[in-house]
Every structure is written in C-alpha cells, then in structure tokens.
Chains A and B, each alone.
Chain A
C-alpha cells in the first residue's frame, strides 16, 4: 500500500481541489482529510458518515473555587497565561501540562480530559474516506491528523485498497509534520507568486528534513508564466520533480459551487492537465 499527501505551505493554492480530483480518478484508494482545522474535502466528496467517533485528547485544568485559597502559586507557575488574576482557567489557553495541579497546596485543581473534536469513517462515490473536525480553538491537531491516518490505514488494509490519498493542511507546523510522516510521496501544489515560491521552498525543506520524496505541481501557472518558470527552475536545481502545470480555469470554481470534482465537470483545460498529471503519477510513482 502506498500513501501520498498533498501539501502546499501557502494556503489556497488548490490542495483540496487536486485531492478530490485524484480521488475521482483513483480506482482503489482511501481518502484522508488531514486538514482537520478547516476541512473542505467533504464539500466535494460528500461523504455519507458510517461511524462518528469522539476525539479525546489532552487535559484541561479546572480550579474548584470552594477549595482554592487564592495563594497565587498556580498563577506564578503557569507559562501559558491560562490562569486569570481571579483564579479562573481559560480552557482555550490551558495546554494541560498539569503543573498547577501538582503545585496547588490545597489540591484545588483537577485535570479533566477534553473532548476536542470528532472523527468519521465514511463512504463516498469514489471509495472510503476518513475525516475529522477539530473542536473550535482546540489544540492537538497533530494528534488528530495521526489518528485519521491510522484509521485510513486500517480501512485500506481491511478493504485491500492499495493507495491512501491524504489532503494536508497549509503551513509547516504540527499538523503538516503529522501528515507527512511515513508517506511515500509528498506532492507540493503551489501558485506562481513570490509568496507561493517562498512558502513552497519552506515546505520542501520540511519534506527534506523528514526524508520524504517530494514532487511539485504549479497551479494557475498562467497567472504569471515567468514566476512559474522560476519555481520550476528552483525545483530542477533541487532535485524536485515537477509533475506538471495546471492553468487558471473558471471551471474549477464552477465545479466547486456544484459540489463536484473538476474531473466530473465540463471538459476544460484544467481538467485535461489534472488527468495527465494523475496518469503520470500513477505510472511512475504509485504503480497502481
């Protein structure tokens, strides 16, 4: 079984559009939406949820006002600014380290387990999907990403599926690292802008750091063809294979509005090029 992840560094370059298009073209795959912060893949794949589950993660401190003697020790030790002057814990900022609960001389602080999101096993018109929703303003997105990936792997083994396609999140931090670990290929999708290049370089470095083979796609390349060429040159000089270019195409947004993948929508330039990229990916790398 192979695993590929679509990442970008910069947000809004087309990760989910591409993931959904690949999902529609893959014959025997499982799809994992690992952008648990702001998941969008479900809007195109319209999963029917088979199993919802709670995601429990981490602890939050709670002060019992009846017992608390307001000595201020907890306030002094908390490094996350989570305890107010009047000894109330702000659950949004508490990182669950429990230092306050250990240090409290009258044992007024308890640690409670958080329900910090949900995850789902679903079916879609293209195959099974594992996805999640991190609770608003919660932490531990990396843990939830790892959980989604683990479940996707279980589904793939159970149903004898030979590929997992992972939709990643923007950035280079915790959820991105969790979505990268142990994949066969990371595909960076970027846009021909200075920001796109800057951010792609950083996420490519992250791939290198974790020794992941990385490929690149330039989306909306005709927005600035010179910049697209610059990005491709950077890739050539750094042993990153460019899988292809996708033109700006209004059909992409139109398809999204209808809840369809690009490949299910009217023929157009973007659709044609995405199919070509998929064929190349399939033949040369995924081998399925």
Chain B
C-alpha cells in the first residue's frame, strides 16, 4: 500500500465516480439558466432536468425568479450561499441550502455556474416548531450567561418588557443595580442542577407580577455549560386566589368558632369535620372528645341525617327536641344543609339554636300577662262588688225605711233587692273562681275552621229569630293546628255572643255578624265582625282590662277576660277595631310557631 498508487488509481476513480456518489445534489447551468449537467443525487431530489431552465425545476416556475443570486455570480464570479424554498420531484415543498459557485475558464470568464444543494426541510421544520414553542409557551423563557446577561428571551417576555437582549437580568427584571441575594440561576451555575424559586418581576410601568421560576443548565455533550435557561410561570393570579382563599378560610373559622349557635358538619363519608364550641356546649361534648356518626345520629331527631342527605336544599325544623351526648332532651331550632359541589354531594352542614332560654322567656311573659290579667280582674271585681254593696245597701234602706214607715210595698221591694243581689254575688263568685283557676290547655290537632263553624251553628237559631244575618267564611286553606278545641270554642262563643248583643242594642235594621277563619303570615286568624252599636273610647279602653260589663245584670264581665286568657295561653293575641254606631271587629291571631304542644294520648 503506497501513497503513489492511491494518487494514480483512486484519484482517477474519484474524478470519474465522486460526482454521482456524493449525497448532495449538483447541477450546472449556462448563462441562459439552462440546466446543462447534473448528478444522480440531484435527479433523486428534483427528478429529470434535461431541456429545462433551473427555475422550472427548482421552483416549478415558468418565469425567471425576480431575485436571482446566480445572475449576480455570473457577473462578479463570487460564490454565494442562501436558503431557498422549492418543490421536489413529487411536488412537495422543500427547503434547501443552495451553494452557487462559478466555473472559471482560462480567460477568467464564467461560462457556467455550479449549484450544490443541501436538503434542510426537516431541520427547518424542527427549528420552526422550536421557535413557535419558545414564543408561544405560556411562560417567560430566557437564556442567561454566567455574567447574568440575557442572551435570548422569548416573544412573551419581549412583548412584556421590550428589548432585553444583552442586559443584566436583575436590572431588567427587577430594576436592581446589583445581583439578587437569592438567585436561582446562580444555584444552577454553581452545581449544574435544576433549581426552582419564587421571584417578583416589575414592568417598566411598575406593575409587579409574581413568578414560579425554574432554571436548567444548557449542557453541551461534554457536560460543560455556560448558559442557563430560565422558565418563569406567572402565578400572580394563583397567589391572589390563595390569599382570597386564606382570608375566606380565616373568616369562616372565626365565625364558626365564635358563633352563639351550634355549628357542625360531616363530610361525604359521614365523618364529623366541624363541631364548634357552641355545639360542644349544647350537646355536652368535651373539647377534645371525638364524636362518631352513630353518636351524632343518636343526638339528632330520628332519620334527620338521612333526610338532609337525600333532600335537595335544606331541612328546617323550627322547634324540635334533640339530645345531649348523655341523652338529655332539650328544644332547639335545627337546620341541615346538604353541601353540593359540581360533581355531587360533598357532605352536610348543620346549625342548631338553643330554644330553652327563649322558651323560658315566653313562659315568663305568659305568666306575667296572666298575673296582670288577675290584677285587672281583682280591680274589676272590686268595681262589681262596690255596685253590689250599693244595691244591697239600697235593699237594706228600702227594708228599714219600709219597716219604720209601715210601708209593705217598700219592705217587699227591699227584700227583692236583697235576694236579687245576693244571687248576683253567687254568680260573680262562681265565674271568678272558674276564671282564676282556669284549666290546663289541652291542645290536640284539629281543624280551626271547624270550631268557627260549630259556634256559628250554635247561634244560628238565635240570630235568625232576631233577624241578624250570621255568616261563617273560610278564606283559603287552613291546615290543622294544635288547639284546645273546648277553650277556643268558648272564645268564639263569647265573641259571637257579644256581637249579637251589640246588634240588638243598635237600632238600625240589616244587622249582620260574620266569622272569618284564614291563615296570614304563619298565623291562624279568627275575625268576628258585627255592624252593631260599636264602642266608644272609654268602653274600648276597658273591655279587656277590667272586670267590665256594660250589660248590667246580663253579664258577669268575665267573657272577654276569659277569651283573652285562652288566646294568650295559645301563644296568640286578641285585639279589636270599633267605631261607635258602625260596628266592631275582634281579631284573634295565633302564630303557628307559638301554639301549644300537643298532649300525647298516652300521657
């Protein structure tokens, strides 16, 4: 093997064969741009070429290119290299590098030009994709050198901060005159590892954004690197949401912890997640004591948990009994909410309000009202007694003066007066005893309108005889309610009886009495209206408050007092409107929430 044998034999081979062996397309054109010669790699790329102009083949054009490098090289003989877009033999678009080199003859002219092609279609596409990715990825990307100068920035960052190339990163991003004390890029420069950090960057207008930053070394195959790529994701919005969430959380926790009402919650698996101090106090549960779902279910009304978890919205029980963990029952107002997220139930939340204090206050108020009524009754009683004593004294006077004058008629009259007023005393005493004792209200579910109907039926004959039109009206639906039937019957009997009496006193014809039963704003209402004599101010003022009668011997003066007492024992109130000569309306209002409890049959 000698060098000389290579020079002679192989040079010959190269000169003859290399042209078709080389994997680069090579073509030769004349000054008219006719393709005059080409190798097989060229044919592989562009197809057959004979009798064609270069632009016919490279660019699939009929006319010459408007800008032509080869024209220039024919003139000045300078080799050129440029990137072109053309079409391959199948018509697919390709990208290639074109080297343009003149063939120089002995006279120094350029009769032909050689074109050498490098197909870079795939590389160009990868490069374009990379650029697109770099510019469009939703984060800021920059390359930093060891001097902390920005070598390159993606479009997103340039759009935000303008031209940043060759400037210091700390200056550009943070407006600092020196390097940052905590520098994520420096960590990567130091150990060649990936690092993360949080940084706040400032725009030229002073707007501050917060970034989660990742730095990675841009390593060469030998492991060395002089550039770090920094990727910064904008977390400003996330941080703001986190802050909002933190605030909402603290706010809620404070409210729950300090609420006067008991608040507790269970998650979707039935585990108790919240049991606030008020709830612990109510249910007598120690601060660190864990409550199981079974224990919770036992404290709440039977089936309540299931009811809340099955019904949409919330379940509201205005008055219900629950139990402490030790099984002691007490009345509460209870609300259960099913908590819903986008994809279904996430648990239940409950609020519970202790009704014991409220109940006690209500009881005390009723008792105070009862005592006041007794006080008024005693005052009224003394009024009645004074009249009785005066009448008795009158009887005695008639008797004595009749005796001394020997006047039999007067003696007889005196006796009658004494007997009559002693009889009145006994009526008074009986009525007063029944009032002061009363009887325990015994509420049972009944139809409020039925009581009114029965009272109206009771007076139907009497009213018809007196020519009074007596009507009963039920307006809309009135649901059954816990009421002491007998007592309410007595109330309405008193009111209707009074109304009929008022009609008798008045002289005008066409008298009517109407009883109405209806429901208004959660209360059962009875109205008894007449167009009888009505009442003036003095009578109205005293009608409920004294042992008051305007009916002389006809009334005990206790009917309305009794009525008021019964209404109050049902948690309701009674009032009246009256115009002298026009008539009177009494209105009993019984809020359902305050109605007495039903006395169970077993009890």
Q: Do A and B bind each other?
A: no
Partner-B contacts on A (CB < 8 A): none
